[in-house]
Structure 1
Amino acid sequence: MSILKFLSNIKTYSSQKVGQKLLIVTGNESADLDSYTASLLCAYFLSRHAPSQRLQESVSTSEKIVPLLNIAREEVSLRPELKYLLSTLGLNSDSVICKDELPSVSTSADFVLVDHNKLLPELEDRFSTARVVAILDHHADEGMYPKADPRIIEPVGSCTTLIVDYFSKSGCLDLFSAAEQREIALLGISPIIVDTANLTSKALEKDKEAVRTLIGLLPACDCEDMFNKLMAAKRDVDSFSLRDLMRKDYKEWADDQYPSLGIESSVKSLAWALNKFTVSGFIEGVQMWAKERNLDVMAYMDSYLDDEHKFHRDLLVYANTDRGKSVVDKFLPKAETEFELVSRESWTNGMQNVWMWEQRNLTASRKQVAPLLRLSAGYPA
């Protein structure tokens, strides 16, 4: 069964809203290319083979296996790189299942978490019974669900790498036809090379081995050409509104016990955003988003190549509340050293509770910044 047919079958089921147990494979709420591809590949593999006993039990007792794009339908247009990748498989964005399209009367669900390791309350609260049965992730371990099997949390460049590694070692790839294997390869290679700059940045041996495995299924693959086209699509945000830019690749941590935090990750430079929206307009946009999301602290990170193809990062932090200001005060001493921050105070136009820096530690992405911000807010390590 092709990926198109696999998704079509789920779409048909979803529209019928049958009240049966689901097995939902979901990425995180940023819903970037890696997050959705990992969920789609994992679900597709599980439709043929479940390597662990826990997964076997869950598959056998679930009506459908649903790969979830963990955003609302109206936000799909904010992911042009996903639209491009789907088009190479003969799919369009209507093929995917979004979080606001889950069957409304299903009372129970098992979850496989990919690209994160703590189930979002919004999904958990949707079902009377919600169990996390497996985790495959490459972020900081939040210590949840010790009985998940597999429970693989490993700091590789791309979460999709872990999906490919886990299922290929179980012999799962051999269960697909040559045509299906080519689709798997195209789907799997794409996020790995995007997240590792075509295996030149943050790529570990396991990432490289996953790409080698997938290229074995798609020998004619031109990874450099694929990477360039995906990145061109990902950077195609010039028409976005400021609010759209804030929510394109956004993650949030909200808990009644701790200050609420949000981080947006952008492929466009902070300088580009300040020029496009003006300094005051951009900062006001950050403030409005922080108020809309009831955040104590909002951060905006960028990662981009300049005209000479040199890689850069910047960081903006805004304290929306007095509680948020206390978090930033704790965050800054270690962050300035660890992330090699150089002040861009002149860019703030003297606005209060806003900090901007050039970040010279280029290896520190949101995966490094977020844990320190969370620790500064008192979240468990």
Structure 2
Amino acid sequence: MKSLGILSSALLASAALHPNRPAHQAILNAPSGKSAMKPPGVGHFSEWSRETKKRFLIDWQASKESEWILVQGNEGGDLDSMTSALTWAYHLEHSTQNTSRPLKAIALLQTSMDALDLRPENKVALQNSKMTEGHEDLLTMDELPEDPETLSPKLKGIVLVDHASPLRKWSKAKILSIFDHHVDRGVAPHASPRVFEKTASCSSIVARQMLDELEQLPEEYHMPHELLEIILGAIAIDSGGLRDATEADVHTAERILKRSNFSGRELEDVMEDLDDELSEAKKDLVDLGVRDLLRRDWKGDLVDTPSPRTPTVSLGFASIPYSLDEQIQRTGFGELFHWFAIHAAWTAATGVDIDVCLNKYKTRDQNGEKRKIREIVLTVRDDVRIDQAQADSLFRVVYEALEKEKSLGLKPWHKAHELAAREMVWSHESDAGRKVIRPIVEDAVRQWDMAKAP
């Protein structure tokens, strides 16, 4: 059994790493002083989530990690990823609770607690689902009492939702199931269920599987309306109120609607209203500074290279819905150097070697027609795993890989001549976002060998 000293050390370390987060968030949701407590959420869904988090942390302290399944989405932490994880964790526990082999499952949101509200649509959806203020009934990455590298092999397993392969730090965990609406990378071929399907929302796939299994049970478990409604919200915002939905999205939404508190309304009206509400919230980023914009939708991982001196390189990718010029105006000095200073502080904190910021915004041409513009900001650091010579070489390799991709139509940013060493900014009008750019960068790094570099 783990000692209280170990737990205290973990909590103190967490407090040191996250000075802005209330310390009570890491102590089983049971703060020592009543003044620090927030009113718990209302309803079965919030109660279940809070109680599950408490049981997980208690079992961790008792060295019972092997009894638990962690359901995790991607580290971007959008509404779809969060909803998919919560839905499947709830289903795993409740569908097996009256069997000889009940499962313990918890949703792990692979972002920090203080980053959840950087996506205002998440905050609105959770408020609508009557979850606890401050998200204290959710388990986030900064609340894990043990590093994923050491925790992962101790678990019963993990389930990936809205995520095709685990991050390197979870590579030692057994993958039990995968649900994703992107490209199948061939990971965990024996996982079950293992569903890859092109849908607007991964929540559609997860909810469909949940309903299929629920309806086959001898007796259905209680399905809280708050969970049903957050599922509808995730499908609505990902499908544009069903305007961009697949047949699977629509059919799942219909089934969920019939069980929800919206059951007396037309599906199209409900989904349009949810999309309007959540999409409006999603745009409410006016108060976010550059650092928060960088981390609100950031994904990263380690990538292997053939270079003996540098076998792994850390990559990070941020998606930001503003031009670099507008972001610069949000810095204290309103100048280019300050944006890169803030960016450098953020990338230093995350420990990345290569960081790519993918900006997108809309403008109008001389005829008044809307144009969608994207930007790629590439930077390479030399103070984490790699020295200056390696950083120069890596920058050149990734720079050339992006330049060679003619389908992107990259053009140097209008202030590219003001950039420092190992900094580059391009603009383009292709539809290529992170799903296109990330593989180009990763492939370039995987083929990079410093020993063979010119």
How far does residue 309 in structure 1 lie from its aligned partner after superposition? 10
* Equivalent of residue 444 in structure 2, options 371, 376, 379: 376
With over 3 angstroms needed to count, the CA separation of the structure-2 counterparts of 1:350 and 1:140, relative to structure 1, is same
1:1-381 pair list within 5 angstroms: 2-16=44-58, 17-20=61-64, 21-49=67-95, 60=101, 62=103, 64-92=104-132, 93-102=135-144, 107-123=154-170, 130-172=173-215, 175=220, 177=222, 180=224, 182-201=225-244, 203-217=245-259, 218-219=262-263, 220=265, 222-256=270-304, 257-277=311-331, 278-304=335-361, 310=370, 312-320=372-380, 321-335=391-405, 337-346=406-415, 349-362=418-431, 364-378=432-446
Between the aligned partners of 1:61 and 1:375, the Cα distance in structure 2 is: 42
Preserved contact between residue 348 and residue 356 of structure 1 (Cα < 8 Å): no
Between the aligned partners of 1:304 and 1:46, the Cα distance in structure 2 is: 40
Between the aligned partners of 1:117 and 1:319, the Cα distance in structure 2 is: 26
With over 3 angstroms needed to count, the CA separation of the structure-2 counterparts of 1:347 and 1:84, relative to structure 1, is farther
Pairwise CA RMSD: 3.3
Identity %: 24
Q: What letter corresponds to residue 19 of structure 1 in structure 2?
A: S
Secondary structure of 1:198's counterpart equals coil
* Residues 243-282 of structure 1: CA deviation (Å, up to 9, x unaligned): 2221111101213534322111123343421322233322
Q: What letter corresponds to residue 228 of structure 1 in structure 2?
A: D
Compare 105-114 and 223-232 and name the one that shifted more.
Answer: 105-114
Preserved contact between residue 48 and residue 172 of structure 1 (Cα < 8 Å): no
Between the aligned partners of 1:347 and 1:193, the Cα distance in structure 2 is: 39
Between the aligned partners of 2:145 and 2:229, the Cα distance in structure 1 is: 29
User: Where does residue 53 of structure 1 map in the other structure?
Assistant: none
Secondary structure of 2:131's counterpart equals coil
Between the aligned partners of 1:285 and 1:306, the Cα distance in structure 2 is: 26
How far does residue 13 in structure 1 lie from its aligned partner after superposition? 1.1
Between the aligned partners of 2:142 and 2:315, the Cα distance in structure 1 is: 23
How far does residue 145 in structure 1 lie from its aligned partner after superposition? 1.5
How far does residue 103 in structure 1 lie from its aligned partner after superposition? 5.7
With over 3 angstroms needed to count, the CA separation of the structure-2 counterparts of 1:349 and 1:205, relative to structure 1, is farther
How far does residue 124 in structure 1 lie from its aligned partner after superposition? 5.2
Secondary structure of 1:345's counterpart equals coil
Preserved contact between residue 258 and residue 379 of structure 1 (Cα < 8 Å): no
Q: What is the TM-score with the length of structure 1 in the denominator? A: 0.82
Preserved contact between residue 358 and residue 376 of structure 2 (Cα < 8 Å): yes
Structure showing greater radius of gyration is 2
Preserved contact between residue 233 and residue 274 of structure 2 (Cα < 8 Å): yes
How far does residue 11 in structure 1 lie from its aligned partner after superposition? 2.7
Higher relative contact order (CA 8 A, sep 6+): 1
Q: Give unpaired runs (5+ residues) of structure 2.
A: 1-42, 305-310, 381-390, 449-454
Secondary structure of 1:113's counterpart equals strand
Preserved contact between residue 303 and residue 315 of structure 2 (Cα < 8 Å): no
Preserved contact between residue 301 and residue 313 of structure 1 (Cα < 8 Å): no
Q: Give unpaired runs (5+ residues) of structure 1.
A: 51-55
Secondary structure of 1:40's counterpart equals helix
Q: What is the TM-score with the length of structure 2 in the denominator? A: 0.70
Between the aligned partners of 1:309 and 1:32, the Cα distance in structure 2 is: 30
Preserved contact between residue 242 and residue 285 of structure 1 (Cα < 8 Å): yes
Between the aligned partners of 2:214 and 2:289, the Cα distance in structure 1 is: 46
The runs of at least 4 aligned residues of structure 1 exceeding 6 Å deviation read none
Q: What letter corresponds to residue 378 of structure 2 in structure 1?
A: Y
* Residues 265-309 of structure 1: CA deviation (Å, up to 9, x unaligned): 123343421322233322333333334334332111234556999
Q: What letter corresponds to residue 443 of structure 2 in structure 1?
A: L
Between the aligned partners of 2:284 and 2:417, the Cα distance in structure 1 is: 26
